[in-house]
Structure 1
Amino acid sequence: MLARIVSLLALTASSLAVPAETITSLGYLKCSSDGQVTGYLSKSLNNFGEYIGVSPDSDSNDVNHRMLVNLDVTANGTQSILVKNAPDNDYPFLGGIGGEEGSTIGSDGDYLLVGGTESTASGVTSSYCGNTFTHSTNTLRKCASAIWIYNSTTNEVTPQWTNDDGTVVSANIGYVDAAFVLTGNKTEFEDTWSDSVQWITLTFET
C-alpha cells in the first residue's frame, strides 16, 4: 500500500513538471573593437560567400542593410543563429566555414570564415554541410552552425568551435579585408596572415 502511495505521488509530481520555456528574440549583431562601435553584421555576402560588415558612420540608413537574426535568449550552451533576411535561403544560419588551412583552429594562426550555412547539431565537429562559400566558389569546405553562445548578462555573442579531433576552442572574431574570420590565437593570426585586423566583440541588440 505504501509503495503504491509513493508511486502515485511520484506520478503526480512528474505530471506537474513544467518544461523549460524557449524564448527567441529578433535583433542585430553589433560589432565593437577596443570599446568603440564599428558597425553591425550585414545581411550581404561578398563574392566568396562571406558575410561583411556595415559601418553606421558611412551609411545613415545602415539599419536596412543589417543582418536581422533570431536568437534564443534562454539557451544554455551553443546554438544556431537564424538569419531572417539571409540572401540565400538555402543557407539560412550564421556559421563557421573552414578556412584556407582546414577546419581546425587553436594555438596557431589558422582561421575559419563566417558565412551562411545549413543547420548542424550543437557540440559536434564540422561536416561538409551546404554553405555560401562552397556555393559561391565551388570549393568544398566543412562548416557548422551551432557555434554561438549568448550571455544574457552582457548580451555578448561568442563563437565556440569544435575541432575535428573533438577539442573545443573559444574563438576570437576578427574583421579583415571587409570580412569576418574566427581564430584561436590573435597574435599568430596577425603574424601569419594580417596585422591590420580589427578584433571584434559581438553583442545582440534588439
Structure 2
Amino acid sequence: MDLYDPQRFSSDFHDLIAWINGMKTLVCSDELATDETGAEVLLERHQVLKAEIEDHAGSFQTFEAFGNQLLQSDQYASPEIQEKLDELAQERKDLDKHWSDRHLKLMDSYDLQRFLSNFHDLMAWINGMKTLVCSDELAKDVNGAEVLLVRHQELKAQIETQAGSFQTFAGSFQACETLGKKLLHIHHYASPEIQEKLKELAQVQEDLDK
C-alpha cells in the first residue's frame, strides 16, 4: 500500500464533508411559500436536491471501499481511518434526516396553501352570490317597481343558470372542510389559522341554511 494513500483518504474525506455541509445549507432552508404555486415549486426544488444526493452515492461507496482497503492493510493510521469512516457515515445519515424533515415541512406548507386557496375561492363564490341576492333596494314609484321586477326576473334566471355551480360549491365546501380537519388532526404548524378558517366556513354554511 502506497504511503500516500492515507493522505489521499484524508483529502477525500474533507472533500466529501465539505460537499455534505454545502448540501445541508440548501436542504435546511427555512423558506416557505405564500401560495399554492410557490409551494409546488419549493417541493420540486427539494426533490432535485434528493436526486443530487442519490447521484453522489457512488462517491461515498468508493470512499468507504478505499477506507476498508486501508484498514485491511494494517495501516498505522487505522484508528483515524475508522473514525473518519464512522463520522462520514453519520454525516450522511444526518443529511438524509434533514432532507426528510424539510420534505415533511414543505408538504405541510403545500397542504396549507391548497387549503387556503380552496377557502378563498369558496368565499369569493359566496360573496358573489350574496351580491346577487341581498339587495335591499326598494322602488319609489310605479316605474321604479317595474324596473325592479324586471331586474328580479333577470336575477332569478341568472341564479337558475348557477344550479351546477351550487353543486360544485357543495363538493368544494366538503373537500375544503375535510382537508382542514385532516391538517388539524396531524397538528399542523398553522393549526390556529386553519381552525379560524374552518369556523368561518361553518358560519357561512349556517347562514346559507337559514
**What is the TM-score of this pair, normalised by structure 1?**
0.23
Higher strand share: 1
Higher helix share: 2
Q: Relative contact order (C-alpha < 8 Å, sep 6+): which is higher?
A: 2
**What is the TM-score of this pair, normalised by structure 2?**
0.22
